[in-house]
Structure 1
């Protein structure tokens, strides 16, 4: 399903939600209470600004007595997404975010990856995948990154561990190009990057990736990831603790200026290595 037709389908989902909500006599706020979201969220679902999660679609069916209509439509729309079910929501939220704050302990974040780096990661996890499947993955990964080229792109702050710079992914040339692109984006003020050096030793939330997403008219959300599963968390107390942890990560990391110098230095090391092989 093309992006335009998928968006039209989500708009139909929202229009049906509004019609059936009004037929049942619920205000947005009253329905939100029943399905454990805010009335504002219901309004965003109806306008196709946000996409509900599966459990919300199921509760809508239960409260509005729609015999599984919203769950079936949700499953159809998510199935047509180029992302896994748990990650499709994150992609939608990235597009809506006004600020993204991300920590990656071992690799370059997806929004900043070059095609060659992303391909090497994919092949490492999917050694028997067809070329067609690999190309589909790469198209989706590169399409995601287009939000950083948009005039309304979110403010993007990334903290990396030095491990992400030093781990060979795809060879010396691939790593050199990846780090050179990262440095170029930093110099172009597309992203603010800080690096936690090996010398820092132990650091907060060691080894655990996290992404904080902030929005103009909705509460912030935290995304964390495990093996073939993930969590989207918007409980205010949880988000506050993650924000505090992210502040500590920024504190132990090198400054943006020193981080840029380190990234460029490591990129030069990879270039020298590539020229001798």
Structure 2
């Protein structure tokens, strides 16, 4: 139970313990830092639960200590804990999904956001947030994108409403960079990015966002989100109904190439 309540503390304890019990000899922090290609101060901060854990560190620790993904799993729990309570289970499931489908009528999905775009959203949502809080929130959001850069990224299908591309978030430069990022993501072999144009009929899903996660065992889990709430949906009839609604949205959207052309046109005009 303690592990579930405080994965950050367990991460630190497991790191210290693994150093002490390293097969050849006890490793000091400097030696471990050299093996995982970070500074000694980074290892020190990790072991006293101070500051964020670099997202590329957990798999390196698993490799060095032969811990079969332990540090990666703990990191996923830590990352999930930095999100609002209603979205934490989704954050736990997302790194394990073999396929992810996203629909958004209002904003660029978090998996595809640039740091500046995410920061603008967080600043608008909480004008009193401190610089440290903003840095932490943006870092947590960007850390999610590690799953798209690994050796075996999930199949990703994204449909956004045209309004997402035209809505000014953070100013002209932020939007240009965000549109450029969408073009890059859309060009990746495992990603299909489409735009639902204004000319399409209003979809059933117009009033919110939807994520469809297909897990390794074939199970399908849905996540819907509003302004300050979110829900995991697993009831078979609901999953079938909303998955079908997503299929309709995707069929009504522009093709992959036509979507890229529209994004490029808006980027160049901004």
TM-score by length of 1: 0.69
The separation in 1 between residues aligned to 2:83 and 2:243, in whole angstroms, is 27
The separation in 2 between residues aligned to 1:161 and 1:174, in whole angstroms, is 19
Q: What is the aligned partner in structure 1 of residue 116 from structure 2? A: 116
Q: What is the aligned partner in structure 1 of residue 158 from structure 2? A: 158
What do residues 22-68 of structure 1 show as CA deviations (whole Å, max 9, x unaligned)? xxxxxxxxxxxxxxxxxxxxxxxxx98xx9xxxxxxxxxxxxxxxxx
The separation in 2 between residues aligned to 1:95 and 1:7, in whole angstroms, is 23
Q: How does 1:185-204 map to 2 (within 5 A)?
A: 185-204=185-204
**SS of residue paired to 2:127:** coil
Query: Do the aligned partners of residues 4 and 153 (structure 1) sit closer, same or farther apart at CA in structure 2, a change above 3 Å counting?
Result: farther
Hey, which bits of structure 1, 4+ residues long, moved more than 3 A? 1-4, 77-80
CA contact (8 A) 1:180 1:267 kept: yes
Cα offset, 1:216, TM superposition: 1.6
The separation in 2 between residues aligned to 1:3 and 1:156, in whole angstroms, is 33
Q: What is the aligned partner in structure 2 of residue 211 from structure 1? A: 211
The separation in 2 between residues aligned to 1:6 and 1:198, in whole angstroms, is 50
1:101 aligned onto 2:107:
no
What do residues 205-258 of structure 1 show as CA deviations (whole Å, max 9, x unaligned)? 222211000012152000001232211011111100011101100111111110
Cα offset, 1:78, TM superposition: 7.4
Q: How does 1:52-71 map to 2 (within 5 A)?
A: none
CA contact (8 A) 2:179 2:263 kept: yes
Q: What is the aligned partner in structure 2 of residue 5 from structure 1? A: 11
Cα offset, 1:189, TM superposition: 2.5
1:147 aligned onto 2:167:
no
Alignment gaps of 5+ in structure 1: 9-46, 52-76, 271-277
CA contact (8 A) 2:80 2:88 kept: no
Alignment gaps of 5+ in structure 2: 1-6, 15-68
What do residues 175-215 of structure 1 show as CA deviations (whole Å, max 9, x unaligned)? 00000111012123342111011111422322221100001
Q: What is the aligned partner in structure 1 of residue 89 from structure 2? A: 89
Give the RMSD, CA atoms, in angstroms.
Answer: 2.6
1:176 aligned onto 2:176:
yes
Q: What is the aligned partner in structure 1 of residue 125 from structure 2? A: 125
TM-score by length of 2: 0.71
Q: What is the aligned partner in structure 2 of residue 246 from structure 1? A: 246
Aligned positions, number: 207
CA contact (8 A) 1:78 1:85 kept: no
Cα offset, 1:91, TM superposition: 1.1
